[in-house]
Structure 1
Amino acid sequence: MSDTEFLAERFEHNRDHLRAVAYRMLGSLTDAEDAVQESWIRLSRVDADDIDNLGGWLTTVVGRVCLDMLRSRKTRGEQPLDVRPNDPVSTPDSIDPEHEAELVDSVGLAMLVVLEKLTPAERLAFVLHDMFAVPFDDIAAMIGRTPDAARQLASRARRRVQGSDPETGTPLPQQREIVDAFISAARGGDFEALVTVLDPDVVLRADTGHGPPVLVRGARNVASGAISFRTPGRESRPVLVEGGVGIVAVENGRIISVLRPSFADGRIATIDITADPDRAAAMEVEFLD
C-alpha cells in the first residue's frame, strides 16, 4: 500500500465524523460534503507524519472551512436549509443514502432552524464544544479569539438553543456608549465607524410583518444596510427596551421600528428589529436622554 493510499484509508475512517460536524455547522448535506472534501485536499498538501492526532486535526480544518463558508453567506435566505436525504454529493457512490437519512434524523430540522439563528462564531463554538467535545483552546484558535471568549460564545449559543435570549454581561452604561456610537455613525454615513462597532459575525434579523424575516450576516453587510436605509425625517433615538439599551426609529412623532441589540466584547453581536409599525408602537420602551 502506498503512502497516499494509507493516508486515504485513515481519512475514510474519519469521514463520517467530519460529515456530521460539517452538517451541523452548515445545515446542508451537499455543503457538508464539500467541506469534507476540502479537508481532504488540505490534508493531501501537508506532511501527515507531522500530525499527532489526525482526527483532531481534520476536525479543526473542517471547522475552519465551515466557518469560512458561513461567513461568506450574505444572508440566510441565500442558503436554505438542505435536509433532503437524496441530495447529490461528491460522487453517486460516496455516501450511503441510508446513512444520509440517519444523519438528518439525528439532528432534526428544528435544531437546524435554531442553529441558523446563531452567528458563525457562536455556531462553531456550540457545535464543536457541546456536540463534539472540542476543547475551547482549539476553538479559540479557529475563530481568532481567547478561550474565555470562545467559552462565552458557546454559553450564549446554548441559551439561544434552549429558547432564551442571550444574557449580556455588558453594563447598561457601556451598552449606551455602543448604541450611541452606532447611531452617530449611521446618521453620519460613516461606514468604517459602523463596522468598528459591530462584531465581525453580527447577525441582523428584521421582522417587517410581511413575508419572511430579513436576515443579514456580517459587519460590512449590516453597516451597508444601516447607511443605505437612512430616511429623511426619520430620527433614531436610544431607549431602554426589554432590560437593555436599544434604538427606536421615530417618524412624525410615532415609533415605526424598534431595534434590540445584544452585546459581546464591546460590540454589537446581534440585532433584532421589529419593523412592523403597529407592533413597534405597542412595545414598551423608555426614552433615554
Structure 2
Amino acid sequence: MDQVVSEKVARDPTADYIAAIEEHGYVRIPQVFDKSTVDTMLDRVSAWFDKTVQAQSARMPRLNKQQPMVYNLQSKDIAFCRLILQTPVIEDILKHFLNDQWFSSVPAEDPNYILRSFLARSSNYQMPMHIDSFIPYTGSYPFIMQCSIPLEDQTRENGCTVIVPGSHKSNKYAEQSAIEQAIPIESKAGDLIIWDSRIWHAALDNVSGRTRWSIIATFCRWWIKQAFDIPGNMPQKIYDQLSNKEKAVLGFCSVPYDDETRGIDMKRSYDLLPEKVADYRI
C-alpha cells in the first residue's frame, strides 16, 4: 500500500507528509486540487500539446521519444505557474527539504529553491527503473524533488508510476530487477505525489488505449543547473504577473551574470530583479 497521509486525521499534516518522504522517499496526498482546476489544466495541456508537438526537437532523449509531452509549462500560461507556485503544501514541503539556510539575500521564510523543469506527460510505454538525482547518495539533504499532479486517474492499466519505498537511502543506482518489488502509485486526478529524486522508480506500459496526463514539476536547490534557460525565455506578459517570490523560484535570483562587469554574486535579492526579462542579467 502506498504512503497516503489523511489530512482529516493528521494533527499536523505537513509534518506527516515530510516524515513519510524522509522514511519512504515519497508521499501521496489525496485531492489537493479540485475537479474544476484539474479539468481546466487538462484542457490547457491538451491544447498546448496540439500546438507544440510538431515543433519539438528531433534530438529527444530515447525515453522521451514517442511519448506525449508538453515542455516548459511555465512559459505557456500563468495558470500553470500558479498551480505549483501558489499551493501552500508544495511550498512548505519543498522549503523543508530544499531551502538553503545560507541564502540570506531573500527573506528566510521564502523559498530559495528553484524550478528545474516543468512539463506534462502522458506515457505510452514502460519506463525502466531509474533515479532522477543523477547520482545516488545518502544523507538528509535531497537536492532534487519531483511534484506530480495527475490530471487523469493513474492505474496499473494505463501505466502508472511504480516505486521502491526506501530506495532513496540505498546509495545505489536503480537496479532493473527491483521492478519485482516496486509498488504501483495508483492515484486519482487531483492528487499530489511528491518524491525524493533518489528514489528508484519506473512506469508501467499503458495498455489502456487512453491518455494518462500528469503535470510534473521538478524542483532543485538553487545551485543546480536548470533543464532549460527558464529566466532567459520567460515571456514578459507572464513575468509581469509574477510576485518576487515566484520570480525567485523560477531562477531569477540565482541566474549567473554574463561576466564580472555585471556582477559576481549568484545569490541575488528581490531589489535586483529587473522590470524586463531582457534585462535580467543587468
TM interval, short-chain normalised: under 0.3
* Higher RCO structure (Cα 8 Å, ≥6 apart): 2
Per the normalisation by structure 1, the TM-score is 0.25
Per the normalisation by structure 2, the TM-score is 0.25
